[in-house]
């Protein structure tokens, strides 16, 4: 068991953050409830956050001398302005400097999964923690046979985990990327290798398939943001995989290829993805909108009543009505029920802004819309919105450059927002 030394986290209960209503009206506005900050450089620089019930999980891959750690907070008596650090998660063996441990986190019920790499076996790995408390190591380790690259994208629903390894090389496909499914055994999670591998039939070297992953029920979405399409360099792709009737096994090909109706070169479509119910969301952070280069866009796909087709263009394309060139909306996305969260971390001199979109009564509608939220103590190069999470109406947003905007000495911060009561 490893103890993290010299790391203190400060919780501030704050009033409403700067925000304004944009475009179509939405049901709720939001207020900042808490801010978690690290007191050492890189201590809380987070590229992945997850929310479920009264629990917030923060991945901090550069903490503890770059070995990485994940932190679990609980809202005391459901009060998100009163968060208690209840667990610090590390791996029991094979933990390495710059090993990418905690670069991705996910939670389902009382079980947390953290992505990383086992330097002992030299395999990509994910680590399971069940109702963790205190400084703990994993209950089970999931590894990917034959893949010596870290698992840096994780999604979790029920008893199924999907993990992406975008820098994996397959055969001659350098950094083609790969994605894998793990299904919880009947007796509970144990050390195991993957249940199935996901494969797209048109991927190639450099596509970084598995850079982003999402899951809802039997539906999995995987992004490949650097894929070239019809001569458009790094336009990006995203794929739907539906669990077969017989369950996940072997190598599974895609059910649906998702297309943007207006995709451009270097849009990085698929850089971020998320899924909830019948909706799948795909971010294209470098998409040009009007005359604004790299303003970014978010695409929503709603499953037809007849099931996912072989190919599909978006149900709706969401942009920010106050969007500016270089904002990169869609760098991060998360959806839960009818609430969609999308980060634009490079907006306003890299202060960063996050937009909250709500599904209309008749379904998702294209166009500029959303409620913009920002940090109460935002500053240039804080990169607020680098990672986002949503669950039960609670929003979590990381700002990797807090407070000084430095890539080497910033402490990092995570903010929690909730509906105005």
The whole-model pTM stands at 0.92
Average pLDDT in the 204-231 region? 96
**Is 11 within the bounds of a domain?**
no
The CATH number that applies at residue 274 is: 2.130.10.130
* Residue 18 to residue 223: CA distance in whole angstroms: 32
Question: Mind listing the pLDDT tens digit for each residue in 75-122?
Answer: 999 999 999 999 999 999 888 888 899 999 999 999 999 999 999 999
Asked if the bond preceding 403 is cis, omega within 30° of 0, the reply is yes
Residue 170 confidence (pLDDT) = 80
Distance CA 180, CA 237 (A): 17
Q: How many CA atoms lie within 13 A of 371 on its CB side?
A: 24
% of residues, the chain, pLDDT over 70: 93
Evaluate whether 391 touches 46 at the Cβ level (below 8 Å): no
The answer to whether position 21 is within a domain reads: yes
Give 386's contacts (C-beta < 8 A, 6+ positions apart).
46, 47, 331, 332, 343, 345, 352, 398, 399, 400
> What integer best gives the mean pLDDT of the chain?
91
Give me the mean pLDDT over the 71-76 stretch: 98
What average pLDDT does range 3-27 have in this prediction? Answer: 35
Domain count of the fold of the chain: 1
Q: Is the pLDDT higher at 8 or at 240?
A: 240
Residue 40 pLDDT = 87
Flag whether 5 is in a domain: no
The Cα angle at residue 164 between residues 301 and 286, in degrees rounded to 5: 55
Establish if 88 belongs to a structural domain.
yes
What per-residue confidence (pLDDT) applies to 171? 72
pLDDT at residue 22, as a whole number: 34
Structure confidence by residue, pLDDT tens digits, 254-299: 999 999 999 999 999 999 999 999 999 999 999 999 999 999 999 9
Q: Which of 17-26, 151-160, 331-340, 366-375 has the lowest mean pLDDT?
A: 17-26
Q: What CA–CA distance (Å, rounded) separates 124 from 146?
A: 9
Percentage helix, strand, coil for the chain under 3-state DSSP, each rounded to 5 = 5, 45, 50
Percent of the chain with pLDDT over 90: 83
Residue 23 has pLDDT above 50, yes or no: no
- 114 within a domain of the structure (yes/no): yes
pLDDT grade for 146, boundaries at 50, 70 and 90? confident
Range of the domain at 187: 17-419
The H or E element containing residue 348 is helix 347-350
Asked if residue 12 belongs to a domain, the reply is: no
Say if strands 279-284 and 394-399 run parallel, antiparallel, or are unpaired.
unpaired
- For strands 279-284 and 297-302, give the pairing: antiparallel
Is 7 within a domain? no
Residue 364 has pLDDT above 70, yes or no: yes
pLDDT at 18 over 80: no
With beta carbons less than 8 A apart as the criterion, state whether 264 and 293 touch.
no
Task: Specify the pLDDT at position 322.
Answer: 85
Write down the pLDDT at residue 123: 92
Distance CA 148, CA 150 (A): 7
Per-residue pLDDT at 417:
98
Answer yes or no: is pLDDT of 204 > 90: no
Decide which of 24 and 388 is more confident.
Answer: 388
């Amino acid at each position: 068991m490893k103890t993290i030394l010299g790391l203190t986290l400060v919780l501030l209960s704050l009033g409403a953050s700067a925000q304004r209503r944009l475009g179509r009206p939405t049901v709720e506005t939001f207020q900042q409830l808490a801010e978690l900050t690290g007191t050492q450089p890189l201590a809380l620089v987070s590229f992945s956050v997850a929310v479920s019930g009264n629990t917030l999980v923060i991945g901090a891959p550069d903490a503890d001398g770059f070995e990485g750690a994940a932190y679990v907070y609980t809202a005391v008596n459901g009060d998100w302005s009163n968060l208690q650090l209840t667990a610090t998660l590390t791996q029991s063996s094979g933990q390495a400097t710059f090993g990418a441990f905690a670069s991705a986190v996910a939670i389902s019920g009382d079980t947390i999964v953290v992505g990383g790499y086992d330097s002992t076996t030299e395999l990509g790995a994910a680590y399971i923690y069940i109702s963790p408390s205190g400084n703990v190591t994993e209950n089970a380790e999931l590894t990917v046979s034959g893949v010596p690259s870290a698992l840096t994208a994780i999604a979790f629903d029920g008893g199924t985990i999907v993990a992406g390894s975008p820098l994996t090389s397959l055969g001659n496909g350098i950094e083609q990327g790969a994605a894998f499914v793990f299904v919880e055994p009947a007796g509970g999670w144990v050390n195991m290798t993957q249940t199935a591998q996901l494969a797209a039939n048109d991927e190639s070297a450099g596509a970084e398939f598995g850079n982003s992953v999402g899951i809802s029920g039997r539906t999995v979405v995987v992004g490949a943001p650097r894929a070239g399409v019809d001569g458009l360099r790094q336009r990006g792709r995203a794929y739907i995989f539906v669990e077969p009737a017989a369950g996940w096994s072997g190598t599974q090909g895609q059910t649906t290829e998702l297309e943007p109706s207006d995709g451009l070169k270097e849009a990085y479509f698929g850089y971020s993805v998320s899924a909830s119910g019948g909706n799948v969301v795909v971010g294209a952070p470098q998409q040009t909108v009007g005359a604004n280069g790299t303003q970014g866009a978010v695409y929503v796909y709603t499953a037809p009543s007849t099931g996912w087709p072989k190919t599909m263009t978006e149900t709706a394309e969401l942009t920010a009505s106050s969007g500016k060139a270089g904002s990169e909306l869609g760098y991060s996305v998360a959806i839960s029920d009818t609430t969609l969260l999308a980060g634009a971390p490079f907006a306003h001199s890299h202060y960063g802004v996050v937009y909250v979109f709500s599904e209309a009564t008749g379904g998702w509608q294209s166009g500029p819309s959303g409620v913009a939220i920002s940090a109460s103590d935002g500053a240039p190069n804080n990169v607020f919105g680098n990672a986002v999470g949503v669950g039960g109406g609670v929003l979590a947003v990381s700002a990797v450059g807090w407070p000084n905007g430095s890539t080497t000495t910033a402490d990092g911060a995570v903010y929690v927002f909730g509906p105005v009561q």
